[in-house]
Amino acid sequence: MKDTKRLTFRKWQESDIGAVLAGLSENGKANGVARNIGIVGNFTEEHAKSYMAEAFLRSAITYAIALKNDDGTEGEVIGGTDIYWDAENKIKNSSNLWINHDAKYQNRGYGAEAYIEQVRYCFDELGATEMYERHLASNSVSERMQKKLGYKPVAKEIKFFGVEDVDVIISHLTKEDFHAALEKRKHLIERLQGKKNKIEDAGV
């Protein structure tokens, strides 16, 4: 994966244990992302080590997500991503992408920035022909993000999620729909920037 404006991506290192503990647990308990990969109950340092090591054994392509410092060097690790990849058929079956839930990392667009690069990487570098993604039916944030990138819901399944059965939505994405969604997003950002400039010029 390529660096974006504010983020850099690399393989996990042993020194990242603290970042994984902070990102995949809440009050010492496994959070939603951790439960999604099969960790239930307390989330320990051993779980963090296992997450970083076993991701490679789950047929996943994994990266740590770190902030960039002002000088372009790597800053602190704030998240991670696992891409579940069917190499034979060149299909992304699903992925986990998480950003530390601390308020200082949320609502800053880091998740969207990383997700766009993840999808681009799958299409442009891995040669994906199509992609599938899953999200809890109750997770409106993931639903909105997938919709913004061009994903379309195609099915629903029931999955055991740590302690209970939950409804999961399966969405599908083609390269054409992804690039069309990016173009739409680009035009929207340009319009919003134009309105902001007009307000500033008017001295409001």
Band the pLDDT of 78: cuts 50, 70, 90: very high
Segment among 27-31, 111-115, 172-176 with least mean pLDDT: 27-31
Q: Answer with the residue of higher pLDDT: 59 or 19.
A: 19
| Average pLDDT, integer, range 94-103 | 87
Does the pLDDT of residue 85 top 80, yes or no? Answer: yes
At residue 204, the pLDDT reads 47
Tens digits of residue pLDDT in 117-165: 999 999 999 999 899 998 888 888 889 989 999 999 999 988 766 667 8
SS3 assignment, position 192: helix
At residue 19, the pLDDT reads 94
Domain extents for the chain?
7-190
Does the pLDDT of residue 193 top 70, yes or no? Answer: no
Phi-psi region of 162 (alpha: psi -120 to 50; beta: other; left: phi over 0): left
Q: Answer with the residue of higher pLDDT: 112 or 198.
A: 112
At residue 36, the pLDDT reads 74
In CATH, which superfamily holds the domain spanning 7-190?
Gcn5-related N-acetyltransferase (GNAT) (3.40.630.30)
Residues 6+ apart with CB under 8 A from 87: none
Dihedral angle sign, alpha carbons of residues 91, 61, 148, 3: negative
CA gap 156, 26 in Å, rounded: 28
At residue 200, the pLDDT reads 47
What average pLDDT does the structure give for the chain? 85
Tens digits of residue pLDDT in 4-24: 999 999 999 999 999 999 998
In Å, how far are 22, 47, 139, 162, 167 from 129, measured between CA atoms? 35, 34, 26, 32, 27
Tens digits of residue pLDDT in 61-77: 889 999 999 998 999 99
Q: Is the pTM of this model over 0.85?
A: no
At residue 94, the pLDDT reads 80
At residue 82, the pLDDT reads 86
**Beta-strand (E) ranges in 58-139?**
60-68, 74-86, 91-99, 130-136
At residue 84, the pLDDT reads 85
In Å, how far are 1, 38, 169, 185, 193 from 4, measured between CA atoms? 9, 30, 29, 16, 20
Q: Which of 147, 204, 142 is nearest to 177 (CA)?
A: 147
Dihedral angle sign, alpha carbons of residues 123, 175, 120, 23: negative
> Which amino acid is residue 177, in one-letter code?
D
Q: Which residue reads 């009050």 in tokens?
A: 27
